Chains A and B, each alone.
Chain A
Amino acid sequence: MSTTAINVRGLTKNYGVLRALDALDLTLPTGQIVGLLGENGCGKTTLLKVLAGVLADHEGDVTIAGHRPGPESKAHVSFLPDASFLPDNARVSECVRLYRDFFADFDVAKAEDLIGYFGLQQSTRLKAMSKGMREKVQIALAMSRQATVYLLDEPISGVDPAARQVILDGMVRNLSEDSLVLISTHLVHDLEPILDGVVLMRHGKVLLEGAVDDLRGQYNMSIDQLFREVYQWSAR
């Protein structure tokens, strides 16, 4: 049964004079994978940071997994930022321990399965890995939590096309049907096959949202084509 995973009303966030989020409204239920799409600077990352509880000083009402962003919500939200957030010097096994020690919903067996699926060794240090390999480690850890909401910021950016497919397959591997996965990206073509819904953003607002199948039928084009059309129209 789907319940509301994310409920945002009038969310506004300014960086000085720049308005990153402009009275944004968004409601997303559980049980789906949603693409958060838009060009650079449209507010995708800011929205994910607010939802993850790592960005204060915003206006509006935000609830995620039934809580305002804070310690309670973080127990149910798995956040994958667009940064190498694990210590460079750590081995993969040490990163697994880090997650095991701090997250009660972390599934060590699933993490080890995903790490093996990605072809990584637990004894390797992160600093000895390529960007794509590190990305895989971070995804394996983030997706191995039994979270209600997964917030993934550009999880496949900077990774070669072959690796992208492996990462995407790994992401949906053994994913609970009761969870919401919100993935920000502009690599729409790669992500489209796994998406159930999309949210298109521009200038800190939601431009368009809906189920992937409905949008394909309504506009008679793929989401990738729709993305290009939408941003072509709005750019004029």
Chain B
Amino acid sequence: MVSTLITHEYLRTRTWLAVVFGVATLLTVVGTLMAYTPWGFIRVLGFILSFVAVAAFLFVVQLGLAFDYWRSSYSKTGYFTQSLPVKGSTIYGAKFLWGAIVTVVTLLWNVVLAVPVIFGGARAMGDGMTWAALMSNLRSAVGVAPLWTWIFLGFLFVTLSVGGIAQYYFAASLGSESRMNRLGIGGPIIVWFVLYLVMQVLLLVGIVAVPLGLGPGVDGHLAVMSVNYLETLMQNNNPDIMPLGFFPVLFIVSAVLIWRTVVSWNKKVSLA
């Protein structure tokens, strides 16, 4: 049944996903071509265009997935979905899995699109960029830390990006329960904003509670180091070290949101 559900997730979302992927690719290509023109203003404009297309790509895709999730689960077409002889948590699981697959594919395509943006950016700033120079820069950047660190960071980034889906879907489900379902799409939007504010507080608590950061060590290599973020915050200092305390918060919050969304699907569905 899960494979059938995912097949229909694909069939329902493929058209608009193809449009978003196509527009992002087109804007990136056009922006990069503009960056290679001889006119300074057009060059900068082209770089900005391609940069924004790549930077907003994942956000737009996940927002589209969230809207589709709400519409197919709680709006008019939700009547079909909620009438299926399948446990609610199974339907949610299939939707979440499809959202995760789309997120990973989007991230991979983002990496591909980032290449012309880097070339376009270098051109717009007046410097040239060759493939060999790009590879050399990349090797230098990767060399500041062992390979496992990059694999670990990549895994964290992908997992946290998928965690974004958990937040959007939680907001859509909770905002469509009986207390708020008369508000239509307004319910999920309100829940998302409240969740966003709560997340900011929890992330701050996580950063202060886990005094660890990732930054350049004495030998110039990337290393985990102890940082008292509360102290730096009080002294209004910027330690230039990426805090690690927000990772466990995001993982724990994502797990709690997924659990509560499952409860919503199994016991609290209330179509307006």
Interface residues of A (CB under 8 A from B): 15, 49, 52-57, 71-72, 74-75, 77, 79, 81, 83-87, 89, 94, 98, 101-104
CB neighbours of A15 from chain B (8 A): 178, 182
Question: Shortest CB–CB separation between residue A142 and chain B, in angstroms?
Answer: 10
* A85, B76: Cβ atoms closer than 8 Å: yes
* Chain B count of residues within 8 A CB distance of the other chain: 25
Flag whether B157 is at the interface (Cβ < 8 A).
no
* A98, B80: Cβ atoms closer than 8 Å: yes
CB neighbours of B84 from chain A (8 A): 71, 74, 102
Flag whether B8 is at the interface (Cβ < 8 A).
yes
Question: Shortest CB–CB separation between residue B2 and chain A, in angstroms?
Answer: 12
Flag whether B130 is at the interface (Cβ < 8 A).
no
* A54, B82: Cβ atoms closer than 8 Å: yes
CB neighbours of A104 from chain B (8 A): 85
Complex Cα distance, B79 from A184, in Å, reads: 17
- When A74-B84, A101-B8, A103-B85 are in contact, do A79 and B79 touch as well, CB less than 8 Å? yes
* B268, A56: Cβ atoms closer than 8 Å: yes
Complex Cα distance, B82 from A183, in Å, reads: 20
Complex Cα distance, B4 from A52, in Å, reads: 22
Query: Which among A55, A81, A84 is the interface contact of B270 at CB below 8 angstroms?
Result: A55
* B85, A81: Cβ atoms closer than 8 Å: no
Interface residues of B (CB under 8 A from A): 4, 7-8, 11-12, 15, 76-80, 82-88, 178, 182, 267-271
* A83, B76: Cβ atoms closer than 8 Å: yes
Return 23 A-B CB contacts under 8 Å, by A number: A49-B271, A52-B83, A53-B269, A54-B78, A54-B269, A55-B270, A57-B178, A74-B84, A75-B85, A77-B83, A79-B83, A83-B79, A85-B77, A85-B79, A86-B80, A87-B12, A87-B77, A98-B8, A98-B80, A101-B4, A102-B8, A102-B85, A104-B85
* A71, B269: Cβ atoms closer than 8 Å: no
CB neighbours of A103 from chain B (8 A): 85
Complex Cα distance, B140 from A133, in Å, reads: 65
Complex Cα distance, B263 from A57, in Å, reads: 13
Complex Cα distance, B179 from A15, in Å, reads: 9
Complex Cα distance, B7 from A83, in Å, reads: 24
By beta carbon, the residue of chain B nearest A72 is B85
* B83, A56: Cβ atoms closer than 8 Å: no
CB neighbours of B83 from chain A (8 A): 52-54, 74, 77, 79
CB neighbours of B7 from chain A (8 A): 101
By beta carbon, the residue of chain B nearest A14 is B178
